[in-house]
Amino acid sequence: MKLTHLINGERVAVDTPLESRNPSNTDEVIATFAAGDAAVVDQAVQAARAAQPGWAAASPEVRADLLDKVGAMIMARAAELGELLAREEGKTRAEGMGEVMRAARIFRYFGGEALRRHGLTLESTRPGLDVATYREAVGVVGLITPWNFPIAIPAWKAAPALAFGNTVVMKPANVTPAMASALADIIQECGAPAGVFNLVLGQGGVGQAIVDHPHVDAISFTGSQGVGAKVGMAAMTRQARVQLEMGGKNPLVVLADADLDKAVAVALDGGFFQTGQRCTASSRVIVEDAIHDRFVAALAERANALKVGPALATDTQVGPASSESQFEQNLRYVRKAIEEGGRVASGGPDPLTLDTPGYFMAPTLIADTDPDMTINREEVFGPVVSTVRAKDYEHALDIANQGEFGLSSGIVTTSHKYARDFRKRIRAGMVMVNLPTAGVDYHVPFGGTRKSSYGAREQGFAAVEFYTTVKTVYSGD
């Protein structure tokens, strides 16, 4: 596939010096794609700026109909898109299909929300006056999206932006450009007016140009803490609205009263599925000492039994890391954990050799770690889980609340008392009781606390807060 930018409704013919490869078979090039620059970004922003007033002024039915058509077309192409996602990102075919269907439902949901943009009427303190509030589009929105959910995250950013009358300039991750390009094609095929949705491919300089552009009114970013902090500072310097999602180091607390089989299943799902490449993954499991050793033994047995393989193989349960850099980072963190005193209970720091060259590693469980070890402080973003011993519930809660992240959290217990207390006292934006920390619905708010998130929540009914601004109108006789 030879991919190009999409600007003002047209594919822009350019050189394609960059490439994405199949992480299950690195001999296979999935796509070559353009290396955009600030000049290309400027073209896209100008197109979006010119299209925005008309798009915002259109009947909400026009926007609702477009998003509904996009959702329907994604569903109709789910098998094709799911396979492409698996080949390019490395998720299993089933995981890829699941993500595609999620993206479709996000567009359908926001098709409905386009008709529900509402304001308030209020009583004025002054006789003879009426007061009302209206929600209006922010303007041109820049979207910088990651590779780990290459169609779902672009969907949950682009769909509300378009639903509420904004126009979009999107820069996808250069690991997964083909999925972003496929989504852009669908949006155009479904009838988006020229300039309403623009796609600029390339490396980090493209994202920087979007953030710095004076006519981009808002930036929504998902990625690492380091890059997110730079995005936030640059956006705020010129008073652009900004929304940041920057990962997690999510705790799963397992109490001694928990159903052990359930606790193991929850940790296995949250920690290893989708290759652990989820910002909501259960990457550190805090276990009461009374059951710690039994829990580790049971989880290690289940982890060792997981089938690692190429994304499209029918029996694969855990696919490859999505890129060479991510793969090497995973292995470095495992080696670091061992150096700092962690015990390998399953997997380990060595790559797996399979029939095709790829970024394969065994699901790895590091036991007997301390809360202040690197493995418990920094986001690995791979199939790597650590366990920490806790004396009791209070000790476990204290460990869970340590660190800079605060995205998702979980507890496995049969005690309503501890579950209720945990919901109130855990410092995280999302709480799961007897469920994996990963796995959220598309129609409810998504986001965290501390350095995991900044700005308004994403998804669901909360999305209107970021993608619209409130106008207050006073009317007299």
Positions marked catalytic: 245, 279
Sheet holding 430-433, edge to edge: 343-346, 364-369, 384-390, 284-288, 251-254, 408-412, 430-433
Closest CA to 13 of 5, 22, 21: 5
Helix (H) or strand (E) holding 167: strand 167-171
Tell me the DSSP string of 185-224: HHHHHTTPPTTSEEE---SHHHHHHHHH-TT--EEEEES-
CB 31 within 8 A of CB 88: yes
CB 281 within 8 A of CB 273: no
CB 216 within 8 A of CB 141: yes
Range list of H helices, 192-323? 204-212, 225-237, 260-272, 289-305
CB 20 within 8 A of CB 33: yes
Burial 268-304 (b: 16+ CB within 10 A, else e): bbbbbbbbbbbbbbbbbbbbbeebbeebbebbbebbe
User: How far does the chain reach from its first CA to its final CA, in angstroms?
Assistant: 63
Q: Which residues does 307 contact at the CB level (< 8 Å), separation at least 6?
A: 315, 316, 317, 318
* Alpha-carbon span 240 to 233, nearest angstrom: 10
Tokens of 327: 């793969």
Closest CA to 148 of 316, 20, 274: 274
* Alpha-carbon span 266 to 287, nearest angstrom: 13
CB 43 within 8 A of CB 7: yes
- The count of other CB atoms within 10 Å of the CB of residue 351 is 17
